[in-house]
Chain A
Amino acid sequence: MSDVATPLADASFDGFVSVSEAPRTGMISLRGDLSDTALREVCGAVTGAAFPASRGASLDGSHGVLWMAPDEVLLLVAPGSVPDSLDRIGTALSDRHHLAVDVTDARALISVDGLGVRDVLAKLTPADVSPGNFGPGELRRTRFAQVAAAFWMPTEDSARVICFRSVATYVFDLLCHAAAPGGEVGYYR
């Protein structure tokens, strides 16, 4: 069997915040009626996390449910449990219109950690990342420079960025550049 290669080969960078590829995480894109009890329950069953409100990121450790759109969530699960999770979703929603797809190897997940993480994000996205407008528990889909990305903040001093695998290196390099020593802004701390 071939080795599983993550998009960034576990790359990491130390700037005024650290930028590193997060451990490989199973990801399932699920579209359907988010008000449906069966859908919400199976999301909780496979992730162990509560179902988020609109624009919410509900996490239990590295697993959880990310609200992506009015009819779409992204489930974060252990990589090995993706097939089983898809089976459970398929069974629970067998009589309902829905779409569940394994996107584990179609996305990249990058960790940004340290004081000044909001400054790094603000350099790259038009999203309002001020503490009064965005914080832990929320998910923001937006763009980083020229490509689509989404991020959430596990804590006040850390962020997780998700992007398409095809632009993983581009986004990683953007984050490293924004976090380079000497580039401190100090606006959000």
Chain B
Amino acid sequence: MLILHCPCCGIDADETELTPGGTAHLKREGPGSSDEAFERYLFLRENPRGVHFERWRHAHGCGKWFHAARCTMTLEVFGTYSAQTHAPPREILDRIAERRPQERREVA
């Protein structure tokens, strides 16, 4: 059972109230981009056994999108944050570093 705090409405939402939206912080490659760049954007994912940054939608609640940082192996949730950003906020990265000192994450 996964419970994520929706930062838009403040509800601790059960997974079944949410719709997953895949990897967060992807830069869309638009018209004019190379085939390699578009392929990377559309298909190629790092998919580590560990910390992921994801998009979620509170579909059966307030209907808004937000981001979550969690470990897909242990289901530990490091936090959720606004979708109106290009990168995870400092506090989320600090919490991950604190909990996973040996794990080096690079975020675009």
Interface residues of A, Cβ cutoff 8 Å to B: 54-55, 68-70, 72, 126-128, 140-143, 148
Q: In the assembly, what is the distance between CA of A4 and CA of B70, in Å?
A: 50
B14 cross-chain contacts in A, Cβ below 8 A: 126-127
Q: Which of B12-63 contact A (CB under 8 A)?
A: 12, 14, 16-17, 59-63
Enumerate chain A residues within 8 angstroms of B10, measured Cβ to Cβ.
54-55
Query: Are A70's CB and B17's CB within 8 A?
Result: no
Number of A-B residue pairs with CB-CB distance less than 8 Å in the complex they form: 36
Instruction: Tell me how far the C-beta of A123 lies from the nearest C-beta in chain B, rounded to whole angstroms.
Output: 14
CB contact between A148 and one of B9, B12, B60 (< 8 Å): that residue? B60
A143 vs B16: C-alpha distance in the bound complex, in angstroms?
8
Whether A143 contacts B9 in the complex (CB less than 8 A), given A70-B62, A148-B60, comes out as no
Which of A70, A127, A128 is B9 in contact with, Cβ under 8 Å?
Answer: A70
Residue of A whose beta carbon sits closest to that of B1:
A126
Residue on B nearest A140 in the bound complex, by CB = B11
User: What are 9 inter-chain pairs, A to B, with CB distance below 8 A?
Assistant: A68-B62, A69-B8, A69-B62, A70-B9, A126-B16, A126-B17, A140-B11, A142-B17, A148-B60
> Are A55 and B16 closer than 8 Å at their CB atoms?
no
Give CA–CA (A148, B13) in the complex, Å.
Answer: 14
- B16 and A141 within 8 A (CB): no
In the complex, residue of chain B having the shortest beta-carbon distance to the beta carbon of A68: B62
Shortest distance in angstroms between B11's beta carbon and chain A's nearest beta carbon?
7
Distance from B9 Cβ to chain A, minimum over Cβ atoms (Å): 6
A141 touching B62 by the CB < 8 A rule?
yes
Tell me, in angstroms, the Cα distance from A54 to B64 when the chains sit together. 14
Majority SS of interface residues in chain A? strand
CA distance in complex: A70, B7 (Å): 11
Beyond contacts A54-B9, A126-B17, A143-B16: 16 other A-B pairs, Cβ-Cβ < 8 A, are: A55-B10, A55-B11, A68-B62, A69-B8, A69-B62, A69-B63, A70-B62, A70-B64, A126-B14, A127-B14, A128-B12, A141-B61, A142-B61, A143-B17, A143-B60, A148-B60
Give every chain B residue within 8 A of A127 (Cβ-Cβ).
11, 14, 17
Contact B9 A55 (CB under 8 A): yes
Chain B residues lying within 8 Å of A142, measured Cβ to Cβ, are: 17, 60-61
Task: Identify the interface centre among A68, A140, A141: most chain B CB within 10 Å of its CB.
Answer: A141
In the bound complex, residues from chain A placing their C-beta under 8 Å from that of B62 are 68-70, 141
Q: How far is the CA of A72 from the CA of B63 in the complex (A)?
A: 10
B60: chain A residues within 8 A (beta carbon)? 141-143, 148
From B3, which residue of chain A is reached at the shortest CB distance? A126
Q: Complex Cα distance A69/B8, Å?
A: 8
**Nearest CB in chain A to that of B16: its residue:** A126
Q: How far is the CB of B45 from chain A (nearest CB, A)?
A: 29
List of A residues within 8 angstroms of B61 by Cβ: 141-142
Complex Cα spacing A70 to B9, Å: 7
